[in-house]
Structures are given as C-alpha cells and as structure tokens.
Chains A and B, each alone.
Chain A
Amino acid sequence: MMLSSLRIAERRLPILGQQVVRRAFHQTVQRNSAGAAAATADETREMNLFTAVNQAMDIALASDPTAIIFGEDVAFGGVFRCTQGLAEKYGKDRVFNTPLSENGIAGFAIGHASVGGTAIGEIQFADYIFPAFDQIVNEMAKFRYRSGNQWNCGNVVLRAPCGAVGHGGHYHSQSPEAYLAHTPGLVVVMPRSPKTAKGLLLSSIRSPDPVVFLEPKALYRTAVEPVPTGDYELPLGQAEVMRSGSDVTIVGWGGHLKVLEEACDMAHGLHGISCELIDLQTILPWDVDTVVESVQKTGKLVVSHEAPLTCGFGAEVVATLQEHCFLSLEAPIQRICGLDTPFPLVFEKYYIPNALKNLDAITNVMDYGR
C-alpha cells in the first residue's frame, strides 16, 4: 500500500494569517501569471497540501516557459500525486520521468539551471536524498561562490517529502534538514500547511538561490485549509509567529507544528500557560531575530523537531539563543526531539517528540526554580 494513501489522525489546521513582513530575505510579491489569470488576489479554496504544491508548480510552469519538472515517477503524477495532470497540461518534455538516480536528478537540475533554465526536481523521499548529497553540498551550494558569481544555479528547487508518517520505518520517515543546513549556499525550507507550502514553494522556485524544499508527507492529504488560488509568494528566511503568548516560546517547523499546536492547547487548557508558537519556515538561513524577540519577552524556550536530538537543527537554535538572550532566560532551554536511534518502525510512538513530551517540557520550564 502506498504510504500516501494512509492517513494520520484527521485534524484541520487552523486558518493562519501571515505576519506582516518586517525584513525578508526574499521579498513577498503578489504576481499575476498565466496559470492564475482567473484568480483574484483574495480568492481562496479549501485544498490539501499536495494540491497546493501541485498548484504552485502549475503556476510556475505557466509563468516560466523554461521551467521543467522531473524525477522518479513524476510523469504520471508522482507517488504522492503532487505532479498530477502537469505532464498532460504542459507536455512530456517539460514534466518527465528520469531514470532512478538521485545524484543524477540533482546534477541534471544544476546543469539545467546553470544555463538559464528553471529546474524543479523531485527526490521521491527525503530519505533518498543522500546519493545526491555530493551534488547538493559540493556543487549546488557552491556554484555561485566558486565561480566568482559568473555562474549560478539559483533556479533549482529540489522537492522531497519528509517526516514521520506512522509506518515509514527507517527509510520513509527521516527529516534531513540539519545535514542540509550545515551547508553555506543552500536555502532549506519546510512548510507546515497547504497555504504556506504553496507560497513558500513559489518563492523557492523564483529564488535566486538553490532551495531544498522538504514537504511533510503526512500532511499531503490530511491537512486542509483555505488557500489562495492565485499566484502569491511567502518570504524565505522569515519565521512566522503562529500564536502569540507571554509565558514560553515554542519553536518548531514543518509538519511537526501540528504536534506543537496540540501541546500548546494542552498547556493552556490544563495549566493556563500562554505559549508563543513560532514556525521557522526557512531552516537556512533562519530568522534569528523573530525568535530572539520572542524569548526576550517570555524568558523561556522549548525547541522541538522530529529529527534526532544530537546535532539536530534545534542545537543551532539553542546555541544562538543563549548567546543573544542569556540575561533574559529564566529556565534552561529545552530540546524535545527525536531520539538518537534510527527511525524505529514499531516503536515510532515512543520515538516521536509528541505533544505529551512537549507539554512536559513546557511545564518543566514554567516550574523551574519554584
């Protein structure tokens, strides 16, 4: 059975407005394109995450004649249906299957972008991105720098589904953002919902820097929210404060924010704790200022991600925050993360940094010193 056909607990994500842009690594732009000619800026439609991703790529193909989409099983719509209907609409020379080789996909994408094309490559699972690691780390990330800005491959986006799905085991569950975030020159993005996925993906495709775009596969079908049907972009390099609060700052990214929302609800419902929840959205380069501002206000910080604890990106957040907020901190910063084990199939419920573990951390920092 295909992974995407199984559902995790059905729960609607709340409708979330985007924060006002203060300083964007890449500016938010409203665009009109052929793909969204009929849509007005305000028109929205309920859609799930894979449909939102599909729409973003539809708009990209319509608005950019040099854009191509490729990867394993992409032509028939992809194993998660993200490219459904695009080959029929734009032709098999623009949306096509490649042989089964991730390093080939990444290398092909870089070359295509280096001479002026826009390349949207799909790695079927983030767990299989590692054969492409040499191309991503040594080539894609350094392409502009090493040539003295003569050549660049900024028009590359590599999409890859990531994260726990309930039954993925070692090789259909991982979240490799920390490996990637250790690479100067890359942009690493992980959206949490259909609306953010569409806007961030369009920004990533049009970004002048190469992007690895990690999609929470558990949410492809289950997360549904109103999404603007037109062409819009959300800024890269900028976090979003999903919920304002005064007691403790919670930082996370990607599909894991569903868990953190639940933890915030429990903390409020059970203990009356007011949590400020922040979605980093872009892992690299990440929005230090938004998190620092929040922690200076709350004095407490919990960072949570699905990937293993040791050298996870949470470690970077914590190290930076203690430097900037040392005198504001009222309790030791907590990291609630995946365990330092391979992703374990039958033990997933123990491995996952679930709402209960996060609730425990939230109450611990609140009780610290009392």
Chain B
Amino acid sequence: MKPSLQYPQRFGRILLCQARPRRAMAIRSFASVMRPKAEEEHAATSPMIRVPEEKSTIAAKTPTVSIDLHLASNDNTTEAAVFESPSEIQYAGNATMPLTSVLHIVKPSEDAPRGVWPVFRLMDENGRFRDPAFDAAVKDMKEVTTAPPSTGEAAKDLTGLRAKLQQQYPFHAKEFEACTLLQESKHPYPDTDSKNTLLRAHQQIVRLREMDTIFQNAQRQGRISFYMTCRGEEAIHFGSASALDPADTIFAQYREAGPLMWRGFTLEQFANQCFSNDGDLGKGRQMPVHYGCRALNYQTISSPLGTQIPQAVGAAYHYKLQGKPNVTVCYFGDGAASTTDFHSAFNFAATLKTPVLFFCRNNGFAISTPVAEQYAGDGIIARAPGYGMAAIRVDGNDIFAVHAAVREARAYALEHSAPVLIEAMTYRLGHHSTSDDSSSYRDKDEVSSCEHRFDPLGRFDNFLKEQGWMDDAALSALRDDEKRAVLKAMNDAEQRPPPPFKELFSDVYKEIPPHLKRQQAQLETHMKKYKGKY
C-alpha cells in the first residue's frame, strides 16, 4: 500500500496526496516566491537552491525567478520518510491540480485559450445572414447538420421563407428550422393581429420605440414624472422573450419593457403605470417604468440594481424542486454586474445547479460610467468560467442571434439543470433616463455612429425589405399606426383618476396591522379638519 503524506501545517490548505517513497522531496518554497530578491541573494551562498535553466514557453515570455528548495533530511537514519514529489496534488473538494515548478504569473490575456470571447451573430447590418467563411478566429465552427431544402421558391409564407433562408444560408439551416420567430405564433395575443411571430416582433419593436419617444416627450412636458427609454436594445427584448415559455418567470431590471409587451401587456397598461392612475396594477406606488404583472409572469421591477439576480436563482430552485419544465430569466446591465448580488447569485446558481438564464445587456454605460471604468476583463462573459457556468456572447442588435442563443441556453439550462449566462453586446442609444443628459459625457458623433451601425430596428427593417415583406411605405404606415395607438393610450390614461386613498395603507402587510390602522384614522381625521388642502 502506498503511504500518504500529510504536508506540514505551514503549507496551509494542502491536504493529502499519494506519493511513492524516494530519495528526496522537492517542495516549492512559497516563501521564496514571496521574496524572490532575498532568495536570489541566498542562492549565491547556498548549494541547496538552484535556478532552473529550462523554462516553459509561457514562462519564457516573461522574466521569472523560479527556485526549487530541496529540503535537507534531518539526518541519515530516516530514509523511509522521504517521498517522491507528485506531479499533481489533490486538494479539498476532490480538486486535483497539476503542480508546476515554474513561477509564472498568468496574465489575463493568457487566461483562456479562446482569448476574447467571440460574438455570435446571424444577421448583418444589411439584414442579410452571415456566411461563416467570414468569421474571424472562430475555430470550433459547428458542422452543417440540416441539409438545405431543394425548393427554391420565393417566400410567400413563413414555411417558404424558412426554406428560402435555409437554401440561401445552409450553414444556418438548423437555426432557421428551430427558430420560433419563423413559426406561426402558438399563443393568441389580444394586442395584435399580426399574422405571424416575426412580423409581430417587428411591430412591437416599432411600438416600443414610438412609446419611448412619446412618453419621453410627455415627461419633458411635465405630464409624467419620469421615464426610461429602451432605444437600441429592442432586439434583445423581443429576441429573448420570443424564445421563452410564457411560464418562465422574468426578473427584469428597468430597461426591459419589451419582454412584458411581448407577453401581452397592453399600451393602456404601460400608460396607466406611467401615469400612476387607478388602472396601474402597482396601485400608483412606484415611479414610472416599474412595471410588473403576475398574470404574465413578470416580477415587479424595483429600482435597486442587481437585487433581482439572486431572487431569480431562488425562484428557479423552486421550479427545479417542483419538477417544472421552466427556467427563470434575469435581465441586468453591465453596471449591475458589479454589485454584490450579482456575484452571490452567480455563485449560488452554479453551486446549487438552478435552471436560470442570466441575461446581461452590455450597452456600454451605467448612467455615465463607460464599461472601461466598470470592469477590466473581457466583459461580463469572461466571469462565467470562474463560476463554473456555461455562457454565450451574442450580438444584441441581431434579433435572430439573440433568439437562437436564448433558445439554446434555455434548452441547456433545463437539460443540465444549470445556469447559463448570455451577454448581449449592444449600445444604449438614448439617455439613461429623463433625469440624464448623455451629451455631457459622450460624444454626439459616437452616438450617431452607433445609431448607424447598431440600430436593431434598421437592421430588422432591412431584413423585411430584403424578403419583400415590407417596403418604405408599409414601414411608415406601421409607425403612424403605432404612434396613434400610443397617443390614444396616453391620453386615456391621463384622464383616469389616481388609485383610491385607502390603497396607501393596504398591502404593507397582508392585513393592515393595528398601528397602521391608527395612523390611517389619524390621517383621515387630519384631512377632514383641513378639507380641501389635500
């Protein structure tokens, strides 16, 4: 039987390792790593310390000091207590790690063989699908698994469109086959008469953009107190929401009105919330854009950043325990990814193996702070391997790529009962909120350049025109229709009264406790006394 060796306690966490008896034991001196200079001086006088002549190729890139310290045996009588140095070592948690005698600090750029994470995208700025031959430095390209159909008919309906795309872009044939954006909608939605899912997504992007423009102007006119636009990020909203099951609970931040719209939240409901009237499901208690809808499985938004991330993990854990075939989806921005809750949630999700999709909208800014001042690594996605989590980076302005990524991630999460991180690269075309003027911290040329290059709606328009589904006149008519619908919803909402006064005291607890009843009675007495002042 092989003897096991317990390292001395001064080596901290090292536990047990298997080793064969041999003549000498070489142990890396951690002290020497910490004090290379002192050890160098020591090396000149001690025959027991040597600087290795050979270095690995990685180590050769940087000058390193690597010293092996051969511990002298105490005397000549304990030959059997000397062990061969193992090539790997097992630490707590059954983690076996290779040993190296090369002192080399790993630079971030050397961390992963993949280097910078690639961005998955299908559709380019012209609304055409990419030929993977143009892909730069992506080594692990998938094989074409679905043969392109033989028919070359022009697309008249979705089946025809799918077939045409599959023939035109054989590399993406599988994506087109599975893409629910290219299938008839399975669910009746009262707010739309779109003939199919793809046009409905396009229509809702137009609707959301018109809503953003009009509500933002309403805030400027003092009609509502606050607003936040989603401009530039609509492909993320509808690409992801369309890949989910309606029973997947959404935990959103505050810039994801799209998924709620996709699930059936009407313009009237959006307007009622922003005007805090008696139709607001939140009973007028929160600032505009803090939407929520139990019926549509969309958790009510709160302002503190990142708090929804661990909550999404806890909810997903419930689904897992109940055996439900559902995930939770958690949206957050690049700024929220710096919060404590982000880290806790990622670690919880990975260790507790919960089926949750973490969807990071990397739009370049947290209010005014650019991503260069938010993180030093390769975006948010590079953190995923550190948590032991699957991940994919996607072009957030390509609705097809977002949809495909979320669909795959959802399937992965359910199959493996594990979290997946999706980092969508995009650009916040609007201001942070109506309380912000982004021209004070970013160049107007930058914004217009990004609007030209990144606008997801323009790209979608191009695609529809390319397919012969829409022309400029149809697009213009659609915008006009949606604008009218938004204006009507807003004007109607403005006419409605605020929620009843009693709602001030309800819902703090399930039942109103005695001290709140007392306060309510006091307030009512006061208001009676000063009638007309409130």
Least distance between B381 CB and chain A CB atoms (Å): 21
Q: Which residues of B contact A66 (CB under 8 A)?
A: 318, 321-322
A134 close to B (CB within 8 Å): yes
Contact A104 B352 (CB under 8 A): no
Contact B317 A149 (CB under 8 A): no
Contact A114 B299 (CB under 8 A): yes
Among B54-62, B205-213, B337-345, the stretch that binds chain A is: B337-345
Look across to chain B and name the residue whose beta carbon is closest to the beta carbon of A137: B304
Q: Which residues of A contact B290 (CB under 8 A)?
A: 146
B83 close to A (CB within 8 Å): no
B281 close to A (CB within 8 Å): yes
Contact of B307 among A96, A135, A154 (CB under 8 A): A135
Among B397-405, B474-482, B509-517, the stretch that binds chain A is: B509-517
B465 close to A (CB within 8 Å): no
Look across to chain A and name the residue whose beta carbon is closest to the beta carbon of B321: A93
Measured CA separation A94–B352 after assembly (Å): 11
Given A96-B352, A152-B510, A185-B509, do A146 and B312 touch, yes or no (CB 8 Å)? no
Measured CA separation A285–B510 after assembly (Å): 13
Contact A25 B513 (CB under 8 A): yes
Given A99-B348, A151-B300, A285-B514, do A104 and B310 touch, yes or no (CB 8 Å)? yes
Q: Pick 21 A–B contacts, CB within 8 A, sort by A.
A: A101-B343, A107-B345, A108-B310, A111-B318, A112-B314, A114-B314, A115-B328, A117-B321, A134-B304, A139-B302, A144-B510, A146-B282, A147-B281, A148-B281, A148-B300, A185-B508, A209-B510, A285-B509, A285-B514, A285-B515, A285-B516
- The 0/1 profile, CB within 8 Å of B marked 1, for residues 113-155 of chain A is 1111101000000000001001100110011111111111010
Contact of A149 among B311, B344, B507 (CB under 8 A): B507
B315 close to A (CB within 8 Å): yes
B101 close to A (CB within 8 Å): no
Contact A108 B285 (CB under 8 A): no
Closest 3 CB pairs of A and B: A107-B310, A104-B344, A111-B314
B455 close to A (CB within 8 Å): no
A293 close to B (CB within 8 Å): no
Contact of A98 among B251, B299, B352, B509 (CB under 8 A): B352
Inter-chain CB contacts under 8 Å: number: 167
- Among A23, A116, A150, A286, chain B packs the most CB atoms within 10 A around the CB of A150
Given A112-B318, A208-B510, A209-B510, do A150 and B300 touch, yes or no (CB 8 Å)? yes
Contact A99 B347 (CB under 8 A): yes
Measured CA separation A23–B347 after assembly (Å): 44
- Give residues 343-362 of B contacting A (CB, 8 Å): 343-345, 347-348, 351-352
Residues on B close to A: CB < 8 A? 249, 251, 280-283, 285-286, 290, 292-294, 299-300, 302, 304, 307, 309-319, 321-322, 328, 340-341, 343-345, 347-348, 351-352, 503, 506-511, 513-516
Q: Which residues of B contact A119 (CB under 8 A)?
A: 314
Contact B310 A148 (CB under 8 A): no
Contact B321 A110 (CB under 8 A): no
A355 close to B (CB within 8 Å): no
A109 close to B (CB within 8 Å): yes
Q: Which residues of A contact B511 (CB under 8 A)?
A: 25, 208
A288 close to B (CB within 8 Å): yes
Contact A111 B315 (CB under 8 A): yes
Contact of B317 among A103, A112, A151 (CB under 8 A): A112
Contact A111 B310 (CB under 8 A): yes
Least distance between B417 CB and chain A CB atoms (Å): 11
Q: Which residues of B contact A286 (CB under 8 A)?
A: 515
- Among A104, A134, A288, chain B packs the most CB atoms within 10 A around the CB of A104
Contact A146 B285 (CB under 8 A): yes
Contact B311 A148 (CB under 8 A): no
Contact B347 A101 (CB under 8 A): yes
A68 close to B (CB within 8 Å): yes
Look across to chain B and name the residue whose beta carbon is closest to the beta carbon of A94: B321
Q: Which residues of B contact A209 (CB under 8 A)?
A: 509-510
Look across to chain B and name the residue whose beta carbon is closest to the beta carbon of A115: B315
Contact of A151 among B292, B314, B340, B352 (CB under 8 A): B292
A342 close to B (CB within 8 Å): no
Look across to chain A and name the residue whose beta carbon is closest to the beta carbon of B251: A111
Contact of A148 among B318, B347, B507 (CB under 8 A): B507
Least distance between B491 CB and chain A CB atoms (Å): 23
Contact of B282 among A25, A148, A152 (CB under 8 A): A148
Measured CA separation A146–B509 after assembly (Å): 11
Contact B340 A148 (CB under 8 A): no
Measured CA separation A152–B293 after assembly (Å): 12
- Among A111, A114, A149, chain B packs the most CB atoms within 10 A around the CB of A111
Look across to chain A and name the residue whose beta carbon is closest to the beta carbon of B286: A146
Look across to chain B and name the residue whose beta carbon is closest to the beta carbon of A154: B510
Contact B307 A107 (CB under 8 A): yes
Measured CA separation A286–B513 after assembly (Å): 9
Contact B302 A138 (CB under 8 A): yes
Measured CA separation A368–B251 after assembly (Å): 59
Least distance between A204 CB and chain B CB atoms (Å): 13
Contact A114 B315 (CB under 8 A): yes
Q: Which residues of A contact B307 (CB under 8 A)?
A: 107, 134-135, 138-139
Contact A110 B514 (CB under 8 A): no
Least distance between B457 CB and chain A CB atoms (Å): 31
Measured CA separation A109–B344 after assembly (Å): 13
Q: Which residues of A contact B286 (CB under 8 A)?
A: 146
Least distance between B502 CB and chain A CB atoms (Å): 13
Given A138-B307, A151-B292, A185-B508, do A111 and B313 touch, yes or no (CB 8 Å)? yes
- The 0/1 profile, CB within 8 Å of B marked 1, for residues 38-65 of chain A is 0000000000000000000000000000
A237 close to B (CB within 8 Å): yes
Given A103-B341, A146-B282, do A25 and B514 touch, yes or no (CB 8 Å)? yes
A360 close to B (CB within 8 Å): no
Contact B508 A108 (CB under 8 A): no
A14 close to B (CB within 8 Å): no
Q: Which residues of B contact A131 (CB under 8 A)?
A: 340
Look across to chain A and name the residue whose beta carbon is closest to the beta carbon of B510: A208
Contact of B304 among A68, A104, A139, A151 (CB under 8 A): A139
Measured CA separation A116–B326 after assembly (Å): 14
Q: Which residues of A contact B341 (CB under 8 A)?
A: 103-104, 107, 134-135
A88 close to B (CB within 8 Å): no
Look across to chain A and name the residue whose beta carbon is closest to the beta carbon of B280: A148
Contact A150 B293 (CB under 8 A): yes
Q: Which residues of A contact B343 (CB under 8 A)?
A: 101
A272 close to B (CB within 8 Å): no
Look across to chain B and name the residue whose beta carbon is closest to the beta carbon of A110: B311
A332 close to B (CB within 8 Å): no
Measured CA separation A115–B509 after assembly (Å): 18
Look across to chain A and name the residue whose beta carbon is closest to the beta carbon of B319: A115
Q: Which residues of A contact B508 (CB under 8 A)?
A: 144-145, 184-185
Q: Which residues of A contact B513 (CB under 8 A)?
A: 25, 237, 285
Measured CA separation A6–B126 after assembly (Å): 73
A340 close to B (CB within 8 Å): no
Q: Which residues of A contact B251 (CB under 8 A)?
A: 111
Least distance between A64 CB and chain B CB atoms (Å): 12
